[in-house]
Structure 1
Amino acid sequence: MQVDIILNEYDSPRAMAEQATLAESYGIRAIWSASYATGRDPFLSLAPAAQATSKILLGPLAVSPMELHPLKITQELLTLNELCDGRAIIAVGAGGGVLAAMGIKRSQMVESVRECVEIIRAALTGEDVTYRGDIYTAHQFDARWAKDLPPPQIYVGASQERMSYMATEKADGLMGSDLIPPLIRLTKGWVDEGLARHERTGQPFGVSNFWAWHIKKDKQASRREACRELVLRGILRPRYTEVLLSKEDSDFVQENKGLFWGAFARGAGTIDGAPAHIVDALIEGLSSAGDLDDVDREIERFKQYASLGLTEIAIRVHGNPVDAIKLIGERVVPAVQ
């Protein structure tokens, strides 16, 4: 299993370059720049890192064609790929917070992502792009300037069946989010079936998982951070809570999700009104949290995930990314890669 790092959206491009250089020194496979409505541009943020590094993959996560036209996504991706000499990577998704900030409702999600990937692929041929899809059009786009470099890797953000099948046809890999063992098995089944359907069995195809990392020296600080972010873990959908909790506790979460959203909105380290045993079970099941004595437990978790079919784990660091990268680089990477 390869290890990727997802950086937060608050650090400057200069700081991200330093973090990417550090990650590269540990043999980490990729640095992802998180794309959020409150953050910096996920492509431009990686420009200094592209110049400062030589091996690590670099890319935005996740960009939706509903927030940026696929032709513009292609331009930015190929420009980043040129800056880093063919090391660009991208995750194309259906969108989330950025769309909400723009007041745009998601629609035709699988079709939109499919057409975006097809437009990127068309540009990679080096020929003039003439594309007329059901949703997007791109023509008179010439990317010959980009064809002599190794092509960027294209991942699709996918946690459902149709998107996963489409990814196995069009993309180089997929990235799920907060996938726990039953969902990893389900996703791996979709991947295997899709690759067979599209006659790609045996070809390289990445299966990654966005995973929250809250491990710190201070266990209580870790728990506060994990509490604050907890509602984002799979948006606490029933397919998560029903696995990790009793029916009664799962029903409580579904009926009182506002408590969890409130903690996130306030930046609070506690979820007032939610029983501690529910919060603890969700944190344990949906993230890596605890102190330094808990790192070995998380290594075993990642090894289990690899045995279930993950080829990569994309670790979303919080708080101080330098400390997190050092800890992951020194203890996790040697144990799982």
Structure 2
Amino acid sequence: MKFSYALLPDYPLQESLASIRLADELGFHACYAADETWHKDLWLLFAAAAGQTRRIRLGPSVSPVTLREPTLIAQALATLDELCDGRAEAVLSSGNFGLLAQYGMDWARTRPLSRTKEALHVVRTLLDDGTITHDGEFFTYRGLFTFARPVQARVPLKLGAMRGPRSFQAAGELSDGCHHALSYTREAYDYAVHHIRAGAERAGKDWQSLDIGAWVVFATGPDSATAKDAARSMVGIYASSMPEEQLRRNGVEPAALKPIIDAIAAGDLARGIELTTPEIAERLSIAGTPQECLEKIRREIAPSGVNHVICAITDRSLVKAFTGRDIEGMADVNHQLRLIHETVMPAFA
């Protein structure tokens, strides 16, 4: 089992760079960040991190092919790969539906899976060949070329998926893996892995060779109640992007979450947090002491065939920035990285 750090690039940049350096020193597989307008630019951050790290892999999880043109993703990825000497990778998806709405886009009308599959082909072709001629449904190029060339013979490209089953199957069939965001139960991961495996076998691939990642809201520290309260502060913000069927696979009825999402959408974060019960937060996060987090991963995620846990770490600074709440005594990002390294990672070595 690999462990990675999912960074929201909302901290002061020097603090983010220090955390990436620490994750590198501690042996985390990768540092990922969301490629979204809401946050600071991950490509510039990782360009700076490339020269300050030695082993950790860097890239977006996810980059939205609706908002970022896929040849520009390939150009940026190849440039980052040169900067970090062959440690770049990317996860592609149609994008965060809430962000797309702020751009005036109705995600349901964008044919998200078809667009993402075609964009994957475009990025793969330009990375591998340095040139592309393509006449597709969404993207068209006539002899487009780039001098941005990666160091790796094959830069890993994966798909982000939440809904299924076709998105999971496409990831298994067409890409190097799948990052499944915001699921926390054995049922949800059994479902995802079943369809990833079906797609891989359709393409004649060994499904176990794929990167099957669980992207999870994560908060840990010596005090269980404090860590769980921090996670509870963020659950509604993250869960607002979860499709109804995904919520049900995680044991949450969409109707129970609707008042929370409505409050957050109206800008009343305090009310959204108040409505997020400890039971919902427990369902939709991995939080508590390091041992509690370890046991939930061991019980709910690892048995399904997931081979990569991607920890979207929630700490005091992040909660305060997003919600205004100040959770005294909550471990900061660097402390949590050390706790994961000391307690959780060795159990899956």
Greater CA drift, 305-314 or 226-235: 226-235
- The answer on whether the counterparts of 2:286 and 2:296 sit within 8 Å (CA) in structure 1 is no
Aligned partner of 1:110 in structure 2 is 113
- The answer on whether the counterparts of 1:12 and 1:45 sit within 8 Å (CA) in structure 2 is no
1:238 CA drift (Å): 4.4
Counterparts of 1:189 and 1:252 in 2: how far apart (Å)?
A: 27
What one-letter code is carried by the residue in structure 2 that aligns with 1:288? I
Q: 1:199 to 1:6 in 2, by over 3 A?
A: same
Counterparts of 2:9 and 2:137 in 1: how far apart (Å)?
A: 33
Aligned partner of 2:128 in structure 1 is 125
1:201 CA drift (Å): 2.6
Counterparts of 2:293 and 2:65 in 1: how far apart (Å)?
A: 34
1:267 CA drift (Å): 3.9
- The answer on whether the counterparts of 1:86 and 1:151 sit within 8 Å (CA) in structure 2 is no
Q: CA RMSD of the aligned region, Å? A: 2.4
1:323 CA drift (Å): 2.0
1:219 CA drift (Å): 4.2
1:222 CA drift (Å): 2.8
Please say if 1:91 is aligned against 2:86.
no
Q: 1:116 to 1:205 in 2, by over 3 A?
A: same
Q: Structure 1 length normalisation: TM-score?
A: 0.87
Aligned partner of 1:327 in structure 2 is 339
Please say if 1:336 is aligned against 2:348.
yes
1:220 CA drift (Å): 4.6
1:41 CA drift (Å): 1.2
Deviations 1:171-210 (A, max 9, x none): 1110111222101101111111111111113672111111
Please say if 1:3 is aligned against 2:3.
yes
1:223 CA drift (Å): 3.6
Deviations 1:33-80 (A, max 9, x none): 223332111211211111111111101121111101111111111111
What one-letter code is carried by the residue in structure 2 that aligns with 1:295? P
Counterparts of 2:48 and 2:80 in 1: how far apart (Å)?
A: 10
Aligned partner of 1:23 in structure 2 is 23
Counterparts of 1:203 and 1:228 in 2: how far apart (Å)?
A: 35
Gaps in structure 2 of 5+ consecutive residues: 316-331
Aligned partner of 2:179 in structure 1 is 175
1:241 CA drift (Å): 5.2
- The answer on whether the counterparts of 2:78 and 2:148 sit within 8 Å (CA) in structure 1 is no
Counterparts of 1:22 and 1:283 in 2: how far apart (Å)?
A: 28
Deviations 1:239-266 (A, max 9, x none): 4554665xxx837505xx1234425844
Q: 1:217 to 1:25 in 2, by over 3 A?
A: same
1:124 CA drift (Å): 2.4
- Where do residues 289-328 of structure 1 align in structure 2 (5 Å cutoff)? 289-290=287-288, 294-304=289-299, 305-319=301-315, 320-328=332-340
Corresponding residue SS for 2:158: strand
Counterparts of 1:167 and 1:90 in 2: how far apart (Å)?
A: 13
Deviations 1:299-327 (A, max 9, x none): 12222312211010111012232222122
Q: 2:286 aligns with which of 263, 285, 288?
A: 288
Counterparts of 2:207 and 2:33 in 1: how far apart (Å)?
A: 30
Counterparts of 1:226 and 1:33 in 2: how far apart (Å)?
A: 18
- The answer on whether the counterparts of 2:217 and 2:285 sit within 8 Å (CA) in structure 1 is yes
Corresponding residue SS for 1:62: strand
Gaps in structure 1 of 5+ consecutive residues: none
Corresponding residue SS for 1:52: coil
- Where do residues 159-308 of structure 1 align in structure 2 (5 Å cutoff)? 159=162, 160-179=164-183, 180-201=185-206, 204-231=209-236, 232-233=238-239, 235=241, 237-239=243-245, 242=248, 250=253, 252-253=255-256, 257-262=258-263, 265-268=267-270, 271-272=273-274, 279-290=277-288, 294-304=289-299, 305-308=301-304
Counterparts of 1:270 and 1:99 in 2: how far apart (Å)?
A: 22
Counterparts of 2:255 and 2:207 in 1: how far apart (Å)?
A: 44
Counterparts of 1:49 and 1:127 in 2: how far apart (Å)?
A: 25
Counterparts of 1:284 and 1:192 in 2: how far apart (Å)?
A: 28
Q: Structure 2 length normalisation: TM-score?
A: 0.85
1:127 CA drift (Å): 4.3
Q: 1:146 aligns with which of 146, 149, 154?
A: 149
State, as a whole percentage, how many aligned pairs show the same letter.
22
What one-letter code is carried by the residue in structure 2 that aligns with 1:189? H
Q: 1:244 to 1:316 in 2, by over 3 A?
A: closer
- The answer on whether the counterparts of 2:51 and 2:84 sit within 8 Å (CA) in structure 1 is yes
